[in-house]
Amino acid sequence: MICEFCVKAILASGKPWGYHQKILSDLQTSSACVFCARLLQDVEERRATSSPPLTNAANWPLHRWSVRRPGRIRESADAVIVTFRPTSHDGDRDTGQHDEQPAVETALPERAFYLFPEEDLGHVPSQQELGVTTNLEDSGQQIKKWMQKCVTEHKYCRRHHSGDFVPTRLLAIGLPDQSRIRVIETKRHGIKGPYVTLSHCWGKDPLIKPLEITVQNQKEFMEEGITWDALPENFKQAIEVGRFLGIQHIWIDSLCIIQGPGGDFHAEASLMHQVYRNSYCNIAAADSPDCRGGLFRSRTARDVLLARYKADGTSAIFEHKAWRVVPEDFWDAELLHTIIYTRGWVFQERMLAPRLLHFAHHQIFWDCATTSACEALPSGLPQPLDTTAGTDRHWRGRLQESDSLRHRPLAGAADDSLEQFWKAAVRSYTACELTKGRDKLIAIWGIAKLVRDALGEAYGPGLWERNLEEQLAWRVVECEADGRPEEQSHVPSWSWASVRGVVEVRDRMLRWRVVRGHEGEPIAFSLVGRKPSKRVEERSDSWDEELAIMSQHLTKMEKKQQGGREASNHSTKKESQSKEVAEQGQTGSHAKADGDQPPKLQSISIPIRGHVGAAPLRRDALGGRWTLEIPECPEIGEEDGTLEVFPDVKPKFDDLGGENWYFVVLASSRLNPNNEVVSAGGAHAHGGDEKDITYTYSGVGITLKPAERDRHFYRTGALHFRGISATMWTRMHTTYCKETASPDEYKDAEGLKFWLD
Ligand SMILES: [Zn+2]
Ligand SMILES: [Zn+2]
């Protein structure tokens, strides 16, 4: 519902904005109001986490509300947006007392709600239709409707389930004797599917582990079966859903992969992406922290029904229509923030399954490659709120057909490229909590494999072969960890899988390779069973031009390139075709060489030749940003560009005592005053040229610390710079850390020969 105050003062007021004059006690009394309840929840969370406790909070908070109706663009739904922005009691004026009394208001989030005309939302269920639980009696009809529509009408969802892949083992759930559930070997019984799958949390407490199949009990589980009562609640209810859908088999990890010593976890875990990708429907126990929680929930209609506002015409914006309120973050808050989707392991299950039934706290959610819906909005999410779910659906569809990944241009619309998908996938994946002891890389391997097969390029631990220079400069978005997690200590420091926290991968767009591998080749990791390919370089469109600029250091290289340049001048048109062929050929050989197994590194060390510099790390007092103080360069202001360090783990106090951090620039672009990348030109790589003054440099690098072995380094952070002057750029390359390096190890033009571990 919406409280009388919010109706009168906001919706029916006819005004575009005003103050929500409600202090804490008022909010508490109107906690049934969709707006007030959310604001109250934010305030309470803020109070619970603030230390010291907030004083003088009696006349707090105050929100400024605004109502706006965005212009309609073609098919977008008609909507009105009501926004609540926390503000201080003096209105918008800044009191300037932030230091003594932190502005509590700023810690409260802004909240937005969408109001949609009821008539545009399709069928909106009544309280009675929803029923008081999410079990099959109350919600089964809706599940059937979604499934029916998807199977018969969704062109994009129908083409799968070819039966090409069947998991090694399945549970037979369609047999007449339902008191026992048998594990069956699909090959031996000639089972082809279809089957459903279960996504669930195992729980943190080892004492309440789900029932497992082991070497000891497998004979019993296969011959006599498991008694119904022995099954945990999650399994029982998932089996009920599977039967309800008319499916005879279900795949549950703990009962279909032989666990413990002598089991086949390693072989089967790398097949997991196939299991979920070929599932008829994935059933997610979204609200259950461990195996006992089950899928079904009881609920009150108020938890599910969308608040309704029947406008009386007093406000022109709302006319006489009936409206429904949906919080802007509805999909995130109700589904993606449920217990299960905070777990990293489940990320690929959600992306790879062709359709999903998520059993959440208040209602069931539906997802396929065509529709994202829930019981409150069974026809689907209205367009403006469908962004996250819509992107996921798009990729769910494309990952179903990895062939289509290949046939589409890789550099299409910016948000449609595989690169963008990978970037988004890493970001959401690293935002999840990873269960201790489980390999972070295995849990994203299923997605990586499909992308790899489509890109036709080698995949190392979380990074791709091409333009590894930029990729090595991934950053931890908000560095809060004190150290790298112990359980990932086998992962090299240059992989983001070695750190905690949300990770952002760099776009691969920079043109200048500032460093090279030892042999003059691009920097590369070495995989077991694969030679580093030179193809990588051929794909970089203007590489040969860039190389000329960097001439100093590679005369040998240049000669090689000239041959290539002449060849490519003749065949600009054909180039793209031959690239595609090369890619496909590559893919084929990958599939044979590596199959479904994640790649293994031959060595964790990446050989590099580059200018390792040293500079003190400083913290900018206002913004809290980390920066390197490049020697003999004046401190840079905003107008001089930015140079920022993103540490992998929180720098300790010692690191700030003027101690030097090692760093190396990996790739950069030179920009003219119009911010265009200057790709050609014979300017000296190390600046100093008069003309060069007007150019700026943008690029990436990493910070380093010495490892145990001589001339080996660990990565400690990312270094990103934008719009810096030629002087600064030059200094970054001449702050050499020559130290004790011999002439063979260190050359003025090429820098130091070192390894990144
Ligand atoms: Zn209210
Ligand atoms: Zn569908």
pLDDT tens readout for residues 58-84: 566 778 999 998 876 655 568 999 999
Chain segment 641-674, per-residue pLDDT in tens:
788 999 999 887 655 555 788 999 998 888 888 7
Residue 567 reports pLDDT greater than 80:
no
Residue of 638 and 607 predicted with greater confidence: 607
Q: Which residue has the tokens 């193809």?
A: 535
Percent of the chain with pLDDT over 70: 77
Ligand nearest to the CA of 33: 1
Residue 447 reports pLDDT greater than 80:
yes
Q: Which of the given ranges, 68-72, 630-634, 734-738, has the highest pLDDT on average?
A: 68-72
Ligand nearest to the CA of 366: 2
pLDDT at 17: 93
pLDDT at 637: 59
Residue 95 reports pLDDT greater than 50:
no
Ligand nearest to the CA of 307: 1
Ligand nearest to the CA of 159: 2
Ligand nearest to the CA of 281: 2
Cα of 370 from ligand 2 centre, angstroms: 5
pLDDT at 554: 29
| Pair 602, 526: CB distance under 8 Å | yes
Ligand nearest to the CA of 26: 1
Residue 143 reports pLDDT greater than 50:
yes
Ligand nearest to the CA of 30: 1
Cα of 52 from ligand 1 centre, angstroms: 29
| Pair 403, 394: CB distance under 8 Å | no
Q: Which amino acid is at 370?
A: T
Cα of 570 from ligand 2 centre, angstroms: 47
E strand or H helix that includes residue 263: none
Cα of 66 from ligand 1 centre, angstroms: 14
97-124 core/surface letters (b: 16 or more CB in 10 A; e: else): eeeeeeebbebbeebebbbbbbeebeeb
Ligand nearest to the CA of 380: 2
Cα of 16 from ligand 1 centre, angstroms: 17
Q: Which residue has the tokens 């799958």?
A: 197
Cα of 366 from ligand 2 centre, angstroms: 9
Ligand nearest to the CA of 28: 1
Cα of 275 from ligand 2 centre, angstroms: 19
Cα of 22 from ligand 1 centre, angstroms: 9
Cα of 369 from ligand 2 centre, angstroms: 5
Cα of 472 from ligand 2 centre, angstroms: 38
For residues 545-565, average pLDDT: 35
Cα of 753 from ligand 2 centre, angstroms: 54
For residues 478-504, average pLDDT: 89
Cα of 116 from ligand 1 centre, angstroms: 18
One DSSP character per residue, 480-537 reads --SS--GGGTTS-TTSGGGS-S-EEPPPS---EE--B-TTSSPP--EETTBPPPTHHH
Cα of 354 from ligand 2 centre, angstroms: 8
Ligand nearest to the CA of 21: 1
Measured at the CA of 122, the angle between CA 120 and CA 125, to 5 degrees, comes to 125
Cα of 240 from ligand 2 centre, angstroms: 22
Ligand nearest to the CA of 355: 2
Cα of 362 from ligand 1 centre, angstroms: 22
Cα of 35 from ligand 1 centre, angstroms: 5
Q: Of the given ranges (78-82, 209-213, 352-356, 396-400), which has the lowest mean pLDDT?
A: 396-400
Q: Which residue has the tokens 């007021």?
A: 13
Cα of 314 from ligand 1 centre, angstroms: 18
Q: Which residues, including other chains, have CB under 8 Å from residue 305's CB and lie 6 or more apart?
A: 125, 127, 130, 376
CA nearest to 184, candidates 148, 176, 174, 145: 174
Cα of 314 from ligand 2 centre, angstroms: 41
Cα of 154 from ligand 2 centre, angstroms: 5
For residues 108-131, average pLDDT: 92
pLDDT at 638: 56
E strand or H helix that includes residue 233: helix 233-244
Cα of 693 from ligand 2 centre, angstroms: 57
pLDDT at 390: 87
- Residues around ion ligand 2, judged by CB within 5 A, are 150, 154, 157, 368, 370
Distance separating alpha carbons of residues 151 and 230, to the nearest angstrom: 34
Distance separating alpha carbons of residues 271 and 92, to the nearest angstrom: 56
| Pair 481, 496: CB distance under 8 Å | no
DSSP-based three-state secondary structure for 512: strand
Cα of 5 from ligand 1 centre, angstroms: 6
Cα of 62 from ligand 1 centre, angstroms: 13
Cα of 337 from ligand 1 centre, angstroms: 25
| Pair 712, 494: CB distance under 8 Å | no
Residue of 65 and 485 predicted with greater confidence: 65
Cα of 519 from ligand 2 centre, angstroms: 51
Cα of 422 from ligand 2 centre, angstroms: 23
pLDDT at 635: 61
Distance separating alpha carbons of residues 705 and 712, to the nearest angstrom: 9
Residue 380 reports pLDDT greater than 50:
yes
Ligand nearest to the CA of 146: 2
Residue 590 reports pLDDT greater than 50:
no
Cα of 594 from ligand 1 centre, angstroms: 59
Ligand nearest to the CA of 397: 2
Residues present in the chain in total: 757
Dmax of the chain from CA atoms? Answer: 87
Q: Which residues, including other chains, have CB under 8 Å from residue 527's CB and lie 6 or more apart?
A: 458, 460, 599, 600, 601, 602
Cα of 122 from ligand 1 centre, angstroms: 26
Cα of 156 from ligand 2 centre, angstroms: 7
Cα of 2 from ligand 1 centre, angstroms: 5
| Pair 384, 76: CB distance under 8 Å | yes
Ranges of each domain in the chain: 4-109, 136-309+328-400, 402-757
Residue 624 reports pLDDT greater than 50:
yes
Q: Which of the given ranges, 47-61, 70-84, 569-583, has the highest pLDDT on average?
A: 70-84
Cα of 158 from ligand 2 centre, angstroms: 7
Ligand nearest to the CA of 153: 2
Specify the pTM.
Answer: 0.78
Distance separating alpha carbons of residues 368 and 371, to the nearest angstrom: 6
